[in-house]
Chains A and B, each alone.
Chain A
């Protein structure tokens, strides 16, 4: 059992976590170290508990030569043994508590952050707000390498049915924070490895939860500056213009299946999912006039797709949140026109 334990403990020490899950933020290495510490001491406990079970069952089994009356040792307890198996686990727990306490402040303790930004959970998008950028960025977070970040985490409250708990998880950073409506929780981290990593929602937030994913791009300071400048320019121009006449209905249909069908049926108005059914959008009098008080036309629909909607019918994210381009909008409008009576 000693040998198996030693092999297992050696395995824990040399296991290449990096090959399976990159350590891409400063505290990731500390947390992995803590994980290794726990796994290191778990190995002998598991080996000895299971090993003794197997050994005792074989060594002390009833043999055919034993009388049916045979009983085992009458010993009830052994105070030295019991003291040790209370003290050793207690000492290990104390050590683990102290080590955890040492790692913990990196999440919460104040740091001299170079970037303080906001992350806001929506159904089912991550919105990021940078200082100095008028528009929000959706689902694709860009961060410069080796710059400490303080991120204020919360959830949308604009609309009662949009306000749910999400959770912001970047496995490669080993950070996670629930996005709770009505609460703003700052977390601190420093990305320290170039690359693109996953952002995953881990708190159930409705029908779109399974695919509430984003990406964080850790880039060099120069690349970050270029990206940031492009974003600023875009927001100054009000974004690229949509040409609704040039859409491709086939591409729109594919996109509708992929994105819109989570919330909308290609069926009459009253067949709601999260939002209303969108067939006969341009004819059916049940569809309310949402933009200019008149019956919907392609420009109105494109405007809602572009800017999102919040009102009596619920709320729909804007084009950045939905991750669609102005070409996509044109294609979607073209597809919706084919659902015409």
Chain B
């Protein structure tokens, strides 16, 4: 393909860097600063929502426990789920990783709309305050799904929940639009679609999903808020509303949201594996196009969350078939990643360890997803601990393992300092073992009769639940290792240099941390980034970055 020749004159429009503290660190327009702001706020919410999970496990450690009151328990799991989905996983993958990495990988100096980017971040802290503040007025109790009519009968905290999630939704929609425009319009010269790094592909599909799907959730939330506040009966069946309408609209957003929560993690995986296997990603096009296929199909499967809601049989069938069909592109990805390890020169550094953990747990979560797709089996499994286990294998085993893989991989780029490898490996093994010990037994008790969202249970599940609770405490404690490692690196971390892992995408062709406005000159891209062993396919990159040899 011919290199697109461009003059640099038009793209040298650079604003002077901000000088005041507020411009620099608070209302910053710089995508890298905004990314760090997202990392810090989502990290804080992760700790709070994680503590709620530990409280729940304390209550469930034995049958008939009284660690929490029943109401407190119901509030704890509802806020835990809502916060993890909307205040942690979605914003950390899009707002934090997307902001930090995507503009660097496409050779841009910032996102298309920096002011919107700043605005979109600043919707988050109020959303977090509203959600966690809802405990003061009686937090929501009906889970992160808040099905009416029960959510219509709850105290005022549920209205705060509506407002919080609405704000997050607006933020997510804006960020989606912003990233889409950035990826379409601001790629470096020569970066065709098939030369884009796979994380950018994943971010593009995610941005599309956020932009299109989130508005549905906003509409559903607005209706719930109006019904709660002004008594307009959208959902209340005793006054002519339909509770099933909420379920449809909610899942029409929340199923694509599952992919909003996991596609960027797929992107992270696709970046890390070739770097540490020292060879090209296997099946670049298959991975890129399967992301797109998954993204489009995610709009056509929402009712598989509702197989016991009383859908007609002819409605269930297409949803079952389409859900099973999604397993095919997902399988293609997993097999391609494993095949990338084949005949590599593998360096088992911490980012790759987390990726391998991801592959193992996510494959398991994907397979239990098929068990849930089959309607007759789902009828038995639905709304039990089997679903709780499946969900955590996908969102923890998938998204959170992917997030930690990305953190260990890009930490040197973001901060300029390395994390300690031995602590990283200790973190991985404690997290991997305790994760499986926590969530694997849940499949078992779910299948044999334990429903979800209960504060107490039949004593026959007592032993298993005690084991799960102990494992969950270890899982929580494993996060402290990361926290210590992160804090320690600020002072004792080795200086990273521009490209410690010897990777080939554009974010590694500039200093760490990246300078204000990222690139002195916008590089020109000559080929796809993953051809390890070949010279780097960039022009206008300073020669000292053109080695791409790992230090480890």
Would you give the 0/1 interface string for A101-143, flagging 1 where the beta carbon is closer than 8 Å to chain B? 1011111100000000000000000000000000000000000
Chain A minimum-CB-distance residue to B285 = A77
Asked if A35 contacts B371 (CB within 8 A), the reply is yes
Asked if A205 contacts B150 (CB within 8 A), the reply is yes
* Interface flag for A70 (CB, 8 Å): yes
Residues from chain A with a CB closer than 8 A to the CB of B341 are 52-53, 56-57, 60
User: How far is A303 from B183 in the complex, measured between Cα atoms in Å?
Assistant: 71
Asked if B449 contacts A46 (CB within 8 A), the reply is no
CB distance from A239 to the nearest CB of B (A): 29
Residues from chain B with a CB closer than 8 A to the CB of A181 are 149, 237-238, 243
Would you give the 0/1 interface string for A89-100, flagging 1 where the beta carbon is closer than 8 Å to chain B? 110010011011
Asked if A104 contacts B316 (CB within 8 A), the reply is yes
> Can you add 17 more A-B contacts, CB < 8 Å, to A34-B376, A52-B341?
A21-B448, A56-B338, A57-B346, A60-B345, A75-B279, A76-B283, A77-B284, A85-B332, A90-B328, A100-B374, A160-B236, A181-B237, A181-B243, A202-B452, A204-B74, A207-B70, A211-B456
Chain A minimum-CB-distance residue to B317 = A101
Contact of A76 among B147, B284, B382, B451 (CB under 8 A): B284
* Interface flag for B23 (CB, 8 Å): no
Would you give the 0/1 interface string for A204-217, flagging 1 where the beta carbon is closer than 8 Å to chain B? 11110111000000
**Segment from B84-92, B112-120, B307-315 that makes contact with A:** B307-315
CB distance from B405 to the nearest CB of A (A): 14
* Interface flag for A203 (CB, 8 Å): yes
Asked if A42 contacts B449 (CB within 8 A), the reply is no
Asked if A68 contacts B549 (CB within 8 A), the reply is yes
Contact of B343 among A62, A73, A178 (CB under 8 A): A73
CB distance from B548 to the nearest CB of A (A): 10
Residues from chain B with a CB closer than 8 A to the CB of A325 are none
User: How far is A37 from B243 in the complex, measured between Cα atoms in Å?
Assistant: 35
CB distance from A107 to the nearest CB of B (A): 7
* Interface flag for B244 (CB, 8 Å): yes
Asked if B359 contacts A74 (CB within 8 A), the reply is no
Asked if A60 contacts B317 (CB within 8 A), the reply is no
Asked if A42 contacts B359 (CB within 8 A), the reply is no
CB distance from A109 to the nearest CB of B (A): 8
Chain B minimum-CB-distance residue to A52 = B338
User: How far is A69 from B448 in the complex, measured between Cα atoms in Å?
Assistant: 54
User: How far is A35 from B380 in the complex, measured between Cα atoms in Å?
Assistant: 10
* Interface flag for A292 (CB, 8 Å): no
Asked if A74 contacts B239 (CB within 8 A), the reply is no
User: How far is A89 from B338 in the complex, measured between Cα atoms in Å?
Assistant: 16
User: How far is A163 from B149 in the complex, measured between Cα atoms in Å?
Assistant: 7
* Interface flag for B135 (CB, 8 Å): no
Contact of B345 among A30, A62, A171 (CB under 8 A): A62
Q: Which residues of B, 261-300, contact A by the 8 Å Cβ criterion?
A: 277-286
Q: Which residues of B contact A (CB under 8 A)?
A: 70-71, 74, 141-143, 147, 149-150, 153, 236-239, 242-244, 277-286, 308-310, 313, 316-317, 320-321, 324-325, 327-328, 331-332, 334-336, 338-339, 341-348, 356, 359-360, 363-364, 367, 370-371, 374-377, 379-380, 382-384, 447-449, 451-458, 531-534, 549-550
- Across the A-B interface, the 6 shortest Cβ-Cβ residue pairs: A72-B279, A182-B237, A72-B344, A73-B343, A202-B383, A71-B533
User: Please, could you name 28 A-B residue pairs with CB atoms under 8 Å apart, sorted by A?
Assistant: A21-B448, A38-B371, A56-B346, A60-B277, A62-B345, A69-B549, A71-B278, A74-B534, A77-B282, A77-B283, A77-B284, A77-B285, A77-B286, A78-B282, A85-B332, A93-B370, A104-B313, A163-B149, A171-B448, A175-B379, A178-B308, A178-B310, A180-B309, A203-B147, A204-B141, A204-B142, A207-B70, A210-B454
Contact of A74 among B147, B309, B533, B549 (CB under 8 A): B533
Residues from chain B with a CB closer than 8 A to the CB of A105 are 313
Chain A minimum-CB-distance residue to B242 = A182
CB distance from B274 to the nearest CB of A (A): 9
Decide: A165 near B344, CB < 8 A? Known: A35-B377, A177-B310.
no
Asked if A176 contacts B383 (CB within 8 A), the reply is yes
- Chain A interface size band reads 35 or more
* Interface flag for A246 (CB, 8 Å): no
Asked if A108 contacts B243 (CB within 8 A), the reply is no
User: How far is A178 from B147 in the complex, measured between Cα atoms in Å?
Assistant: 12
Contact of B360 among A50, A171, A180 (CB under 8 A): A50
Contact of A163 among B71, B238, B448 (CB under 8 A): B238
Q: Which residues of A contact B (CB under 8 A)?
A: 20-21, 27, 30-31, 34-35, 38-39, 42, 45-46, 49-50, 52-53, 56-57, 60-62, 66, 68-78, 81-82, 85-86, 89-90, 93, 96-97, 99-101, 103-108, 153, 157, 159-161, 163-165, 167, 169, 171, 174-178, 180-183, 185, 198, 200-207, 209-211
Asked if B376 contacts A31 (CB within 8 A), the reply is yes
User: How far is A209 from B70 in the complex, measured between Cα atoms in Å?
Assistant: 10
Asked if A183 contacts B448 (CB within 8 A), the reply is no
CB distance from A86 to the nearest CB of B (A): 6
Asked if A82 contacts B283 (CB within 8 A), the reply is yes
Asked if A93 contacts B328 (CB within 8 A), the reply is yes
Asked if B448 contacts A167 (CB within 8 A), the reply is no
CB distance from A28 to the nearest CB of B (A): 9
Chain B minimum-CB-distance residue to A203 = B383
Contact of A86 among B332, B451, B550 (CB under 8 A): B332
Chain A minimum-CB-distance residue to B502 = A68
Contact of B320 among A73, A100, A157 (CB under 8 A): A100
Contact of B239 among A27, A53, A159, A160 (CB under 8 A): A160
Residues from chain A with a CB closer than 8 A to the CB of B342 are 52, 56, 60, 73
User: How far is A46 from B141 in the complex, measured between Cα atoms in Å?
Assistant: 37
Asked if A21 contacts B447 (CB within 8 A), the reply is yes
Decide: A72 near B277, CB < 8 A? Known: A85-B331, A89-B327, A108-B313.
yes
Asked if B308 contacts A167 (CB within 8 A), the reply is yes
User: How far is A171 from B444 in the complex, measured between Cα atoms in Å?
Assistant: 13
CB distance from A16 to the nearest CB of B (A): 13
Chain B minimum-CB-distance residue to A70 = B345
Residues from chain A with a CB closer than 8 A to the CB of B343 are 60, 72-73, 75
User: How far is A52 from B335 in the complex, measured between Cα atoms in Å?
Assistant: 10
Chain A minimum-CB-distance residue to B277 = A72
CB distance from A54 to the nearest CB of B (A): 9
User: How far is A151 from B343 in the complex, measured between Cα atoms in Å?
Assistant: 59
Asked if A93 contacts B150 (CB within 8 A), the reply is no
User: How far is A246 from B152 in the complex, measured between Cα atoms in Å?
Assistant: 43
CB distance from B158 to the nearest CB of A (A): 13
User: How far is A46 from B25 in the complex, measured between Cα atoms in Å?
Assistant: 46
Asked if B150 contacts A38 (CB within 8 A), the reply is no
User: How far is A178 from B371 in the complex, measured between Cα atoms in Å?
Assistant: 20
Chain A minimum-CB-distance residue to B341 = A56
CB distance from B499 to the nearest CB of A (A): 13
Asked if A93 contacts B345 (CB within 8 A), the reply is no
